[in-house]
Each structure stands twice: as C-alpha cells, then as structure tokens.
Structure 1
Amino acid sequence: MCQCVTRRRTFTLLAALAILPVAGCFEGDRSGPVEIHWDRDTGELCQMMISDARFVAQIRGGPKRKAYKFDDIGCAVNWLNEKPWAGDAETEIWVAEVTSTRENVIWLNARDAFYVTGEMTPMNYGFSALRHGRSGSIDFVAMTNKILTNTPNHICVPAKSGS
C-alpha cells in the first residue's frame, strides 16, 4: 500500500478526532422547546409515551439548561416543584396550545398562557392551554396552585430507586 494513502487516512482520522470535542460544544440552542418524537419520547415524571400534541409540555432549566418533556402540564408542574432551580428566572416552561397537532405544535410560554378544564388530558389533570383568556379560564399561578393543592396531586408517582 502506498504510504501517501496511509498518511491520508491517518490525517483524516486525527482531524475527525480533533473536531469531536468541539462538536460537543454546539448542542444547539439552549432556550425554547425541543422537537418531540411522538410515541417514542416519554414524560419525565410518569415515563408514559408522549402522544397527544394538545397537552404536551416542556421545561428547560437546571445547571445545564436541559429540556425535559411531559405528556401533561400537571406532570410538569409537579416535577418542577421538586427541583431546587424551580424558581430561577432562567427556567423556561412551555405548553402546547390545545389546538396543536403533531405536525404543528403551537408552543406557548406556560406562564403567559391561560388554562381551562373540561378536556380529558393524558394524566387526567384536566388543564388545556390557550393563548388568550376566555370566560372561565385561569392564569398559570392559579392553575399551578390547583395542581399542587389538589389531593392527591401526583396522578403518577414515579418508582423510587433502591426501594
């Protein structure tokens, strides 16, 4: 085999290895919701598959600004309530507008959205998000308080490891 072919392969391999650490720095935008892989992604709290675009939610926060996915805003509220960084100003909470489809998820800042009850949601918390308020709708703070004070407030309690 020609030495120039071996050198070329060695150079290509070394160049690829040199790029790998740098590529890890560009994991995409660290704000906003991420793509949902329907019927494959699972909710962070209950580990149920995410299937219904009308009720999906995401939280982005924590030390690494990671995006966490949920099948129901109620799961997102309960899960976030347990995190030490829940009150950080940088913590983002996103919820799908109830008219969303898998092909077109309309993401709303959950803190700015309005909520109504009456729909059967994946984990039965019963809150649907709207861009604009209407008769009978409540704001994020009221919705969160209802979820956290409703007994039991966890529809799905995750299994504890080591028990």
Structure 2
Amino acid sequence: MKKLFKIAILAIVIAFGVVGCDEKKEFGNIHFDRDVCEHCKMLISDKLYAVDALVADKHYYFDDIGCLIEWSKNQKIELENAKIYVADASSGEFFNAKDGFWYGGFLTPMNYGFAAFKKEQNNGKKVYKFSEVINLISTKPHSHEMHKAKHYMHDKALESKDKAHGKTLENADENLTPKHINDTKNSSQKDENETLKNQSKHEAH
C-alpha cells in the first residue's frame, strides 16, 4: 500500500514537472519590470515593443527594436543569422520579426518609432519589411541617446525649478522674518508707552 502511495506521489510530481516545462515558451520569456534591455540597460516595461533575440544559443532581451539594431552594430552581429522574436504591438504576442508587418510613427520606449504586427494593418501608414527597418534605423542618428538626453534635460529642468522654488520660499522667509520682528517690537513699544501714559495720569490725580 505504501509502495502504491509513493508511486502515485511520484507520478503527480512528474506530471507537474511536465506542465511546468510546458509553461516556459521557446522565446518571449521576458520578466517585465525586472529584466533590463541589453543595449540601453533600462527596465523592459512595455509589453508591446519588447524583443527577444536568440544569438549563438543565448537569449538577449531589448525594450525597443532600435536597441537590438544598435547593439548588433556594436557587437558586429549579423541579424540575418539570428532568430528574432518581437511582440505584436496590438496583443503583445511574440512572433518572428522577419514575418511581421512593420510601421513607423509609434511612440516606442526608446523613441525609434517602429512597431511590428503579425497581420497587415489598415492604418494608412506605409508598411516595411524587417530588413528595411534595420536599414532605416542603422542610417539615422542614435534616437535612444536623444531620448535619454531628453529625459535628462527634463529631470534637470524639474530639479532647477524645485531649487528656484525653494530659494524663493527661503527669500520670502528672510523678508518676512525681520518685518515680523519689527512689528512685534513696535507693538510692544506702543503697549509700554500706553501703560506709562496711564500711570502718569493716575499719579496726577
């Protein structure tokens, strides 16, 4: 009886193990808000533009297709020989980037602007092949650097604004404090003079 019980437990463990293995996909296993982009080193948060590139049996994750292209240039990797999976910009489902319909003019995480779809879209935009997207991004300025610089300038502007606001309040306090002290002194002096005046009247009587 104990032997049968052990066999049953083992079978259950094996079954759960098989299910667990099935849950992990061949690609697209990105932990959003935990994994960072291989190129820009920022957290991958947007599920509609993420990229999973399989190069030499190793997965590399990116938050924008432009980051993959810039990274491949720096690493001297030919993307034609890599397996690249991208998220469908309408569903987040991963599929082969080379089979997708690509469109420009999107607000992507690092501002490269290209989004992929499994099916052709009736959005009035020009459709590109993946090879065309590679060529376009490769020949334009480093958008991700400009995007990060824009955020940097924005943060600096806010920081300067906060400092200026703090200085204004500080100056306001400095201006108010002496006035407050003078008002208090004048009020005290007035009360003292009034008291002496009343006292003199009382003595005269």
> TM-score of the superposition, structure 2-length normalised?
0.53
The Cα of 1:88 is off from its aligned counterpart by: 6.1
Amino acid at match of 1:109: N
Find out whether 1:92 has 2:79 as its counterpart: no
Q: Residues 41 and 85 from structure 1, CA distance in 2 versus in 1: closer, same or farther, beyond 3 angstroms?
A: same
Maintained 8 Å contact 2:112/2:143: no
- What is the SS of the residue equivalent to 1:155? helix
Give the distance between the partners of 1:67 and 1:81, measured in 2 at CA.
17
- Aligned residue number for residue 70 of structure 2: 78
- Rg larger for: 2
Q: Residues 33 and 125 from structure 1, CA distance in 2 versus in 1: closer, same or farther, beyond 3 angstroms?
A: same
- Aligned residue number for residue 149 of structure 1: 139
- What is the SS of the residue equivalent to 2:69? helix
Q: Residues 33 and 46 from structure 1, CA distance in 2 versus in 1: closer, same or farther, beyond 3 angstroms?
A: same
Amino acid at match of 2:100: A
Higher-strand-fraction structure: 1
Give the distance between the partners of 1:108 and 1:54, measured in 2 at CA.
12
Give the distance between the partners of 2:26 and 2:97, measured in 1 at CA.
12
**Aligned with residue 58 of structure 1, among 45, 52, 64:** 52
Maintained 8 Å contact 2:36/2:61: yes
Q: Residues 123 and 88 from structure 1, CA distance in 2 versus in 1: closer, same or farther, beyond 3 angstroms?
A: closer
The Cα of 1:125 is off from its aligned counterpart by: 0.1
Deviations 1:102-146 (A, max 9, x none): xxx311211111211222100000001011334511110111111
The Cα of 1:54 is off from its aligned counterpart by: 0.5
Bigger RCO (CA 8 Å, 6+ sep): 1
What are the ranges of 5 or more consecutive residues in structure 2 without an aligned counterpart?
1-24, 147-205
Maintained 8 Å contact 2:72/2:79: no
Please say which of residues 76-85 and 45-54 is displaced more in the overlay. 76-85
After TM superposition, what 4+ stretches of structure 1 lie above 6 angstroms from structure 2?
A: none
User: RMSD over aligned Cα, in angstroms?
Assistant: 2.3
Q: Residues 149 and 113 from structure 1, CA distance in 2 versus in 1: closer, same or farther, beyond 3 angstroms?
A: same
Q: Residues 36 and 124 from structure 1, CA distance in 2 versus in 1: closer, same or farther, beyond 3 angstroms?
A: same
**Aligned with residue 120 of structure 2, among 133, 138, 143:** 133
Maintained 8 Å contact 2:48/2:88: yes
- Aligned residue number for residue 10 of structure 1: none
The Cα of 1:156 is off from its aligned counterpart by: 3.5
Maintained 8 Å contact 2:49/2:86: yes
Percent pairwise identity? 35
Amino acid at match of 1:41: D
- What is the SS of the residue equivalent to 2:145? coil
What are the ranges of 5 or more consecutive residues in structure 1 without an aligned counterpart?
1-30, 158-163
